Structures are given as C-alpha cells and as structure tokens.
Structure 1
Amino acid sequence: MTRRCNWRDCQAWKDEGLEFSTTSNEACKLYDAALTQIVGFYQDKSMGGMDQTFKGLKEADPEFVMGHILTTGLTLCSVSIDIKKDEQLQKSLDYLVTLKEKPTTTHRETKHIEAVQVLADGYMSKAANIWEDLLVDYPTDLLALKLAQINYYYLGQSIPMRDSIARVFPHWKPSTPLYGYLYGMHAFGLEESGMYAEAEIAANKGLAINPNDCWSSHANAHCFEMTGRHDNGIQFMTETENDWKICDGLADHIYWHLALYYVEIGNYSKALDIYDSEILPRCLNSTYTVHAASLLYRLEFEGVKVGKERWQQLYETGEPSHFKHLLVYNDLHYVMAALRSEHQDVAKAQINSIREFIRDRCGDQCDVMKEVGLPVCEALVAYENGEYAQAVDLLNPVRYKFVNMGASNAQRDEFQQLFIHAAINSPEKHHKRLARSLLLERKALRENTPLTDRLTDRLLAMNIDD
C-alpha cells in the first residue's frame, strides 16, 4: 500500500483556502495524517495508527480547534459511545464549545463546532445541514464532507449523499491531496440512488488513482449485488482482495458483501467459511457484531443451521452495546442476536429499554426508532415465536420506511427478506398471496436473483390459489 507521508503544514492548508487558528505546523500535519486514515479506512502503522495520531495531534497543540472537532465529531459518529452516559465524551464536547469563544477561532471552525453540538443532541440531519452550509464556502473541507456523508448514511438519505459530493467536485483539483477518495464517496451515493452504471464508472476512476481506495471497491461490491452480477462480484472481490483487505475499518464489511454473493448463488458452505475465517475474527477484535449477525440471519433464512454457538459468540461480543440505542439499524441486530442465542429475556429487556429511549430522548434516531425500529423489533420477536401472521402485520405498514433505519439498500434487504419469509410461513392465504406479490416486485427490480427464484419455487409448491 502506498501511503502519504508529505503532510500539509499551516501554510499549505491556507493555500487551499482552509485556514486553521493554530500556529502549530506539527498539529496541522498530524490532522492531515488523521484525516487520511479516516477516509482511507486504515491504520497507518508508521504514525502509530489513529489513536496515536490523535494523541500526537492534541499534544502538538492542546487547543487545536480542528483537532478537537475531528476527534469529538468522529467519536460521536462512531455510534459506539452514548454522550449522555459517558463523562469523558461530554467533557470533550464542553471543552470544544469553550474553544468556539476564542477570538482566534475561524468562521469555518465555529460552524464545525455548531454541527458537532447539534449532533451530540441527537440531530443528525441538522448537523449534516450545517456541514453542507459550511461546504458552500469551503468546498474542499474534507472533514465536513465526510461527517455529512456518515450521517446521511445513518439516515438512509441516498440523494443528499450523492449530491453532496457532486456539488464540491468541481472545486477540487486532481493535484489536491486525497482528491481520489471523492470518486468512491460519489460512487456510493450514485449506487444507493440506483445509478449503477454511473456508480461503477466513478468507483473505477477512484481505483485507477488508488487501488487501495476500499470505499471505491465497496461501491463496486454494491453495484454487482444490486445488478445481479454475483459471479462478476466474486471475481472482482477475490482478484482485488489484497488491495482492500488491508483497510481495517472496512474489510469485515467487504467480506460480508463477498459472502452475500455466495448466499445468493446457493453456495452456503463458502459463505460460512468466509464468516468463520474473515468476518468473525474481525468482529471479535472490533466488538462490532452487526455484519456478522446479518450474515448468519440470512443463512438461516436459507435453511442453513449455523448453530447456537455462533449466535452466542455474537451475543456476548456485542453485549456492551445492547442497551445504548445509538443507531436503530444496529439495535435490530442486537435484538436478533439475543433471540437466536435463546436469551429471550434479554430481548424483552432490550425492547422495553427501546420504549424508554423513545419516551425519554429526542433526535433523529429516537424518531426513527418510534416509527420503524420498534415495530421491526417486535416483528423479530413474533417471527422467532412462530407468530408469522403477527410479524407480517407489524412489518407491512412500515416496509417503505425501512430506508429511514439507515445503512444501505443491500443491508436493509434482510428486513425485506424477513417480511417475505413471514408472509410465506403465515397460515393466512392472503399473506401467502402477499408474499407472491412481494417476490414479483423483487424480481422486477433484479431479474437475476437465484435467491428470489428459490423462494418463488417454494411458494408455488404451496398451491396458494386453491
């Protein structure tokens, strides 16, 4: 992997129209190093990884405003720490707010702080709007661009994700450091908006500049999935594996995509091999269990017996996050793991905690949890208990709101599959006919989908019109 090492100092940033209030060249250079690792999803060992880069950045200038914005904003965007319950994160935010009052703090830095404050209050969409407003005046501010993108992703807002990049692209020069990463970011927004051909072109431009741009590889993975080119996806991902697997922050998710291709074509043993050898070890290292739970759930839809032991491992690994309620999409998988590992009492406690979260908190995730997350959680429980008709009745009114749960179209598809399986298994003939309608709809969107064909064949064998 070719890594950057010529980091920008104060003057270099100023020349790009991004003036910092700090006078520390070392702080500016370390900020550049941190930003590079963030957009590249990798740990630069020569810098000691992200943690050491962040530490050095603060040591170089303890009052470095953009440094505090980067670390606090990124921590909030990690949706792993609840600021309402974490004293250290709250102190970091409080200190950042005091920096806003410094006379040397720039207009750009002030706007960043305002966005981070709003984000801390739970309003992801409002924070993204502030970052977008900042980008009107400072279109090459990659941190603002990246943080806005992250929050669009969490809210399932594919059109803003796409257009955010399109608006700033003309202001960037190919010679500007990190320019190539814009292609992968744009490609993902294009793909999530259904513009698959354009997305592939953009992703391949990003990879031509930097073969290790794993976000571009990731965008291509989505394109192959959504256009039903599973064999092409397998070929691409395996041929480029050495390019993207070194990106620690995204490799587990890209392996998840590779496994999905094998699930689709019915090679379940290969998908499970990828789970055991690549996804699970990374999951245990990061304690992020969502991708792993998603894959196991899909395999069980296909009739694969993955075993209680695998679910128990995920349940125990993800346990510290079970009651944080920071992202609806994640919470669904924590409930899922509790149910499949036969901790029904914990799943019940999780759902009760979710109800308290809806009652006591505010913000975008709270709204989405009330509107979509809670009924989907209840549907998971109903499905687990064999109450398929109830699961259908819970999912049907919110199916077009799944997008609000965030993540990608490919990720949310497991809940469409849950809906279909519940309808097929329901004792009500009307639900089985609904399943047929859903499968016809699915086939119209993606013609080459063996998974859909298998479900259709299963349904046809039931003689639902008799």
Structure 2
Amino acid sequence: MLTDICLCPTSLSKPEARDAWNGVIHGILSHGRSTGDHLTNLLAAEPDFAMAHAMKGLACLMLGRRELVQTARDAHGEAVRLVAQGGALERERLWVQALGDWLGGRPSVAIKRMEGCLTLAPTDTISMKLSHGIRFMLGDSHGMLRSVENTLPAHGPDHPLYGYVLGCHAFALEETGQYDRAERQGLRGLHFARDDAWGLHAVAHVYDMTHLTDQGIALIDSNAAAWDHCNNFRFHVWWHKALLHLDQGDIATVLDLYDTKVRDEKTDDYRDFSNASSLLMRLEIEGIDVGDRWAELADLAEKRTDDGCLTFADMHYMLALIGERPEAANRLLARVAADAGPQDDTSAVMMTPGMATSKGLAAFGDANYDQAFAHLQRAQPDFQTMGGSHAQRDIFERLTIEAGLRAGRVNEAKTLLQARTALRNGHEDTFAATRMAQIGKMQTLCSAHTAAE
C-alpha cells in the first residue's frame, strides 16, 4: 500500500504505478497535456487498480460527448469487477460508485461520493477537484465554495498541492461575487503552483467581471508558465484574453486571437466550441462582420445535434446553427424537447432552462426578436443551471438583453442590464455602457413622441 501526492493511502503496490497516478493527479490539477499518458502508464503498471478505470470513465463523461458514454460504461464495468475481487480501499470504491451514479444520470449524487472521500481525508485534493469540476458543470458555485473551504484547513503551505487548492478557492470566490478575495487568493496560489492554469484563469475572470481589462491582459501575458503547458484549456485562456480586448473595442486583435489561438485547432470539443461560438456571437451583436467563420462551426455543430449530453454544449451548438443552418437548428430544437423531462439531472436542465433557451435562440436567428425575448427572459433566471461560468453564460445574458432592445421592450431589457451590472458589483463594462446609452436614447425618443401627441 503506497501513499499518493494527496497524502492518501492507495491499494497500489508498485512505485512506478504510484508515480504514474501522481502524474494523473498533477495533470488534472494543472490541465496538463500529459495526463492521458500518465493514465495509460498507470493502467499498464497496475491494471487491477479500480480507481484508474473510474478516472478514465469520469474523464470521458466530463468531455460531454455521446460517443464516449459507452467507453465510460466499459470502464465502470471493469472497475466494478475489480472492486468485487476485493482489496480496493473505501476511497477507491467511492470513485467507482460516483462513475456509476453519473452514468445513471445523477452527477449530483456523484458529487456526494466525492465529498465522502473528503470526509475520509480532507487532504484528498483530487477528489476535491472532481467535486469542483462536476459542480462547475452543474452551475453549483456555492457548492464549489463550500467544498473547497472545507478542505482548506487540511491544505497548508506544506501540502504538495496547496497552490491548486488556492486556485480552486479563487474560482469559487469569483463565481460567488467575492472578487477582491478571489484576486488575492488566485495570485497567491500562483506562487505555490506556477503551472496552475485554473487559478490564473480565476483571476482573469475577476478582471473581466470588474472591467479591469488592462490588468487582465497583463496577467495572461506575464504568466505564460501557468497555461502554455496546458491541453486545450490554453484555448480557453486565449478566449479570456480575446474577451478583454473586445471590452476595449480592439476588434482587430480579437479576430486575430480567434484565428490564431482560439481556433488554432479546429476541434469539436464542446469547450473549444463554446469558446468560438460565443466569441463570434459577441462580435456579431456588436455589428462586426465575422466573414465566413461561422461555416466551420456550423459544419461541426450539425454533426452534434443528436448529442444531448449537456444543455450547455447544445446551446452553444445552437449559436452556430441559427444563422447558418436553420434546418439543423430545428432538429436540435426538437431533440432538446424530446430529451426534456424529470427523469434525471440532465433531462431536468434540458427542460428548464434548455427548452426556453433553445426556442429563444432559434427565434433570435429568425430575427423574431419579440418571441426571442419572451423565451430568453423566461429562461434567464435558470441560466446558471446549464453550468459553466458567469463569463461563459454571459453570451446568453447579452442575447436576452439584445433581443429585448430590438423588440422595443426597453424597460424590461434595462432591468436585466442593471441586474447584470449588479452581479459585477456595479462595474459597468463596455457592453453595459453602450446598451445603457442606447436605452437612454430610446427613452428620450419615446418621451418626445409622447409629448408631441
């Protein structure tokens, strides 16, 4: 029995297997490109380690791809078989159960298994990270904060993974509106873990939410060591940089970042896709001609209309289809409706807010702004349950407000815009400033028209 880098006992017996497992842990925490290689080495060294098979299955589900669900099921079946042979520790059994829960449509129960691991050992950084990640996918920001703060006392500066815990704490603080604390904790974490892309990006979120664009750009530019080692997460960091430049009105830089960084690799990973589609839509509603860039995304989205793993992913596919492929958009709309219901966690989110959001986006694409606003306004209070971050979901907030303005629903759009600014602790970004100015002009014209009558 060997202890891993989380200071937790494992059922591993070979030092090379323990080293590979530590590599998996570090890779997940740092979003490193070599994580998969470490998992392959681990399974080769000790193929009977059930936790490795559970990790494989959980990783597949986090990718949100229908074709990988069977791979996750196979991994779960093997893990269950190995647990039945005996020798697995309680932490390892909990991971296997978590995979089964998620496969059964209950990622919310999978979280409870991970929290069970943290009850066993609050030093268990990787179980905290997986709880954090699943909660992120469910939009549970307050749960993220509770979970990481419960583990903080067991993660002092002498813990090998201390910096990554600070990074998770920073992100949870940012998502719950505690921007000053998030900035301090994220920057502190980078001193302990120079390759913590998650912590770096948490601080980038802070600067986005508080309209400190110069600081955000400088943060990313001066901390390349935190993200240039990453897997596709580095595209997300570039996306954040593009958002900051967009807030400054530097469209040429935004388009260059899109072409050379954000879509440097034309993947259909839903996270990469959401970066791209949401950025193009931000540009479009600012009146920017994005050329033929939608076509590449629409080709990919058209192949994902039957996916249905994540409402968050489906809504970003819809962004690429509504202006390019209306028939495919209608197929996606019908599939969301067919999947919606009370059966499990995923279908519940498809029902609320998925159905109203997809109808609203389709109507927006048809320039039926009154219907778009009606649907999106109904969905808006529940956008967070789609998962992702405030920054990622903001495209749907922007589209709701934009639909309201184009439909002439000025007062309702203004209320939503004010709530959006309040979420940013009163910091008004360029989108808010331009729309508030537009609202002022519309109200002045309305008043003048009324007076003339």
Quick check: TM above 0.5?
yes
Q: Choose from 349, 361, 366 the match for 2:347.
A: 366
Counterpart check, 1:291 vs 2:256: no
Cα distance per residue 1:372-399 (max 9 Å; x no partner): 0111011011111111111111122221
Structure 2 residue corresponding to 1:344, chosen from 326, 333, 354: 326
Partner of 2:411 in structure 1?
433
Task: Give the Å deviation of 1:293.
Answer: 0.4
Q: What is the match of residue 59 of structure 1?
A: 44
- Which amino acid in 2 is paired with 1:34? V
Summarize deviations over 1:154-211 as a string: whole Å, max 9, x none. 1111111011111111112433322211110110001101111111111011111232
Residues 94 and 113 in structure 2, CA contact (< 8 A), matched pair in contact too: yes
Matched residue, 2:238: 255
Give 1:452's match in structure 2, choosing from 417, 429, 432: 432
Whether the 8 Å CA contact 1:265–1:451 is kept in 2: the answer is no
User: How far did residue 52 of structure 1 move?
Assistant: 2.6
Q: 1:46 maps to which residue?
A: none
Instruction: Give a deviation string over 1:274-333, Cα, whole Å, max 9, x none.
Output: 1111101134385731110010000111110102x2111112234443321111111101
**1:21 corresponds to which residue?**
11
Matched, 1:461 2:451: no
Q: For 1:433, give the aligned amino acid.
A: N
CA distance, structure 2, for counterparts of residue 367 and residue 245 of structure 1: 37
- Match in the other structure for 2:317: 334
Secondary structure, counterpart of 1:322 in structure 2: coil
Which residue identity does 1:456 align to in structure 2?
M
- Residues 118 and 51 of structure 1, relative CA distance in 2, 3 Å threshold: same
Structure 1: distance between partners of 2:77 and 2:344: 19
Q: Which residue of 2 aligns with 1:4?
A: none
* Pair 291,89 (structure 1): closer, same or farther in 2 beyond 3 Å: same
Q: Deviations over 1:421-463 (max 9, x none)?
A: 111111x5xx122122333333444333222111122233332
1:390 pairs, out of 355, 364, 371, with: 371
Assess if the C-alpha contact under 8 Å between 2:58 and 2:72 holds in 1: no
Identity of aligned residues (%): 28
Measured in 2, the distance between the counterparts of 1:365 and 1:16 equals 31
1:112-162 alpha-carbon deviations (Å, 9 max, x no partner): 111111011121111101211221112122221111111110111111101
Q: Give the equivalent residue in structure 1 for 2:286.
A: 302
Alignment of 1:42 with 2:32, yes or no, is yes
Amino acid at match of 2:417: L
Q: Which residue of 1 aligns with 2:157?
A: 174
Deviation of the 1:95 alpha carbon: 1.4
Contact 1:27–1:64 (CA<8 Å) still a contact in 2? Answer: no
3-state SS of paired residue (1:180): helix
Q: Tell me the TM-score normalized by structure 2.
A: 0.92
| TM-aligned CA distance change 1:90 to 1:284, over 3 Å | closer
Contact 1:191–1:199, Cα closer than 8 Å, also in 2: yes
Once the two structures are TM-superposed, the CA of residue 246 in structure 1 deviates from its matched residue by 2.7
Contact kept, 8 Å, 1:372 with 1:401, in 2: the verdict is yes
- Once residues 226 and 128 of structure 2 are traced to their aligned partners in structure 1, the CA distance between those partners, rounded to angstroms, is 25
C-alpha contact (below 8 Å) 1:77/1:147 kept by paired residues: no
Which position in structure 2 is the counterpart of 1:246? Answer: 229
Q: Give the distance between the partners of 1:71 and 1:345, measured in 2 at CA.
A: 36
Q: Structure 1 pair 362/454, CA: closer, same or farther in 2 (3 Å)?
A: same
Structure 1 runs not aligned, ≥5 long: 1-9, 44-48
Asked if structure 1 preserves the Cα contact closer than 8 Å seen for 2:6 and 2:160, the reply is no
Equivalent residues of 1:283, 1:292 under 8 A apart: no
Q: Amino acid of the residue matched to residue 194 of structure 1?
A: G
Matched length = 443
Task: Choose 163-172 or 216-225, whichever is displaced more.
Answer: 163-172
The aligned amino acid for 2:90 is H
1:331-364 deviations in Å (ceiling 9; x for gaps): 1011111123x211111111112222225x8321
Counterpart CA distance in 1 for 2:265 and 2:426 is: 31
Give 1:22 deviation, angstroms. 3.0
Runs of 5+ in structure 2 lacking a partner? none
Residue aligned with 1:284, SS: coil
In 2: Cα distance, 1:264 partner to 1:16 partner: 40
In the alignment, which residue of structure 1 is the partner of 2:63?
A: 78
RMSD after superposition? 2.0
Asked if the contact 1:69–1:96 (Cα under 8 Å) also holds between the matched residues in 2, the reply is yes
- Residue 55 to residue 16, structure 1, CA distance change in 2 (3 Å): closer
Whether 1:400 and 2:418 are equivalent positions in the alignment is no
SS in 1 for 2:264: helix
Counterpart-to-counterpart distance in 1, 2:260 and 2:6: 44
Q: How does 1:187-202 map to 2 (within 5 A)?
A: 187-202=170-185
Q: What residue identity is the alignment partner of 1:435?
A: A
Task: Assess if the C-alpha contact under 8 Å between 1:229 and 1:448 holds in 2.
Answer: no
* CA distance in structure 2 between the partners assigned to 1:166 and 1:242 by the alignment: 26
Partner of 1:5: none
- Code of the residue aligned with 2:274 in structure 1: it is V
The 3 A distance-change label for structure 1 pair 252 and 464 is farther
- State the TM-score, normalizing by the size of structure 1: 0.90
Aligned partner of 2:78 among 90, 95, 106: 95
CA distance in 1, matches of 2:446, 2:198: 44
Indicate if the aligned counterparts of 1:233 and 1:258 stay in contact, CA closer than 8 A: yes
Q: Which residue identity is paired with 2:12? A: T
* Pair 40,31 (structure 1): closer, same or farther in 2 beyond 3 Å: same
Q: What does 1:200-215 align with in structure 2 at a 5 Å threshold?
A: 200-215=183-198
* CA displacement at 1:401 relative to structure 2: 0.8
Report the CA distance between 1:242 and its aligned residue.
Answer: 5.1
- Give distance in 1, aligned partners of 2:134 and 2:72: 19
1:11 to 2, 14, 18: 2
